[in-house]
Amino acid sequence: MATFPSPVLRPRPAPSRRPWAGGRLGDGIGELWLAGPESIVDTPERAVTLDELAEDLGETLVGRRGIERLGRRFPLLVKLIDAGDWLSLQVHPSDEVARRRHGPSAVGKAEAWVVLASVPGAVLITGPRPGLGAAEVREHIANGTLGRGECLDRPAVPGDVLYLPAGTVHAIGAGVLVYEIEQPSDITYRISDWGRPAVPGRRLHRDEALEAARPEQCALLRGQAWQLDADGLAAPEFALEILGPGATHWRDPRGETPEVVSVAGGAAVLAGDDWTEPLGPGEAVVVAAASRGYRIEAEPGTRVLVGSLPA
């Protein structure tokens, strides 16, 4: 059985090459997975995934809320996405659709975006165009004709926060860097790949998308200028907080939930009674649910993103 080297765990960032990648995360790197079920953590005994640690340690790592939701599995996924070109037009399934198509242990995928950076004129697709009826959306998906003209564009403004319930048709446009928190799932149904040639592992999923899509649903704006509505985002699937720069923030998981902590620009230091952990760009740490209270000291210009499970 694995043991914690410390109340705070540092997963290895996992880069993923994508055909649409920008250059901010490295050559050809479109996604950088910061923390999720398959993230590897080095313990004194061996290298293990967060899912394996969750299986071994249960509530100690994932907390009471994690056990209630997914049992002894790591319940969150956090990543960075750097788009040099358009990501595919896509949709993610609900838990119900995921389990029907992929088995009883599958998890759906609601997500939230924090726009970290964007080039002038960059946009996000956040749902079908208003006025386009559900039947018409489904017809476009079935025929492979759902495109920019049928979708709702939104300017990609740094500091904006959007919540995308499962079933939301969406895409990230060229020139956008996004922080994404989501359910611990990588199930994506591609409606269109904008004419890029099909390659193994990047097929279209029109039948699956028809089942998963909620044709009249759009992403919900939940914050602007790095300020979340009502000081936080508490969706049914996850919670997100943005902590301000140049300040000390006190935290206490209280045995309820793990906390995935990362930064947007600059650096921060996390410290408990007998541990200290620095945190820089492109990194995340996981604070175990059973950890005692700790503090986050954010440098000037640094915003700290904390993902957890809602009450």
Q: Is 190 a catalytic residue?
A: yes
User: Which H or E run contains 209?
Assistant: helix 206-212
Nearest-angstrom CA–CA distance, 226 and 276 = 26
User: Which H or E run contains 50?
Assistant: helix 50-57
Nearest-angstrom CA–CA distance, 107 and 4 = 27
Q: Is the alpha carbon torsion for 131, 235, 53, 278 positive or negative?
A: positive
Residue from 190, 222, 251, 303 carrying the catalytic annotation: 190
Half-sphere CA count of 25, side-chain side, radius 13 A = 31
- CA dihedral 294→42→53→250, nearest 10 degrees, is 10
State the CB neighbour count (10 A cutoff) for residue 132.
18
- 169 closest CA partner among 127, 209, 123: 127
Give the N- to C-terminal CA distance of the chain in Å, as an integer: 29
Cβ contacts of 150 within 8 Å, gap of 6 or more: 128, 129, 132, 137, 140
Tokens of 82: 């750097």
3-class secondary structure, 109: coil
Nearest-angstrom CA–CA distance, 33 and 81 = 9
Amino acid identity for residue 199 in this structure: V
- 269 closest CA partner among 292, 290, 249, 289: 249
Catalytic residue numbers? Answer: 190
